[in-house]
Amino acid sequence: MNFKDKKILITGAARGLGKAIAIAFAERGGHVAIHYNTSETEAIQTLKELPGENHLTIQGDLQDANKIKYLVKNVEKQFGRIDILVNNAAVIKYHPFVDVDYEEWQNAWNETITVNLLAAANLSYCAALVMKKNGGGRIVNVSSRGAFRGEPDMPAYGASKAGMNAMSQSLAQALGKWNIFVGAVAPGFIETDRVAPILNGERGEAIRNQSPLGRVALPEEVARGVLFLAAEGTEFMTGAILDINGASYLRS
């Protein structure tokens, strides 16, 4: 896959999966805008690790719709265009029904839906306007197997990713006539620093054994799925949701 001179905006790219996606695009010639909110130090370090040149970091609170609009305009100003948007940023809030009060329940839902779904919708809208006037582009959304199997300890997360899937398919239908293609990847657990405490804890072995491969995904494996959907030649896969969970959850 060749992304030479493609201009790519990746949200939540300072660390973890977002960082792996940024490196994968940069290795193939892309110019990457690394979005972050509070992880400035990590974003700068990721920038230093990217091969190639003409990359940048950009800060933005995705809970603020006006800042999202400014963020996209700023990337367009610096890059001249946006060819690919990867909606990777997400929050995970544990809020089991029996363990939280009503205020905690509301806060978990409000923040999760705002960052995971509404921000992705707003970013897609703003980026699609840029893509439309430049002849097209790609939007790849990072969903989750939790959209299909349910997430009893963090129902807002599962709901936000189910909404992202529906949004991806709706946008694929709405934007295809402008050569803007939309897809999603739906991974299970990924071996990142954010989930390391869980994988190294008492639940780790059971989680790994959910897959017949006896492990969870590497960030680089999920990144390859993102690049696949963003690559030229996959246009007729617009609207697709690509499972990357090691057969830990199979949907019909």
122: three-class secondary structure by DSSP: helix
As to burial, measured by CB atoms within 10 angstroms (0-12 exposed, 13-18 middle, 19+ buried), residue 101 is: exposed
Which H/E stretch holds residue 5?
none
Q: Which of 62, 7, 64, 75 is nearest to 36 (CA)?
A: 62
Which of these is catalytic: 70, 102, 157, 249? Answer: 157
**Residue 194 in this model has a pLDDT that exceeds 90:** no
Region 48-52: what's the mean pLDDT?
Answer: 97
The arithmetic mean of pLDDT across residues 63-74, rounded, is: 98
pLDDT in tens, 126-149: 999 999 999 999 999 999 999 999
What is the number of residues in the chain?
252
Q: What is the mean pLDDT of residues 7-17?
A: 98
Q: Which residue carries 């804890």 as its tokens?
A: 201
d(CA 119, CA 213): 34
157 as an active site residue: the answer is yes
Sheet containing strand 7-10, edge to edge, reads 56-59, 31-36, 7-10, 84-87, 137-142, 180-187, 241-244
Task: Tell the residue number behind the tokens 């994988």, with chain if given.
Answer: 199
Please say whether the beta carbons of 190 and 224 come within 8 A: no
| pLDDT at 123 > cutoff 90 | yes
pTM (two decimals): 0.96
pLDDT of residue 195: 86
The answer to whether 32 and 22 have CB atoms below 8 angstroms apart is yes
Percent share of the chain, pLDDT over 70: 100
| List of domains in the chain | 7-244 (3.40.50.720)
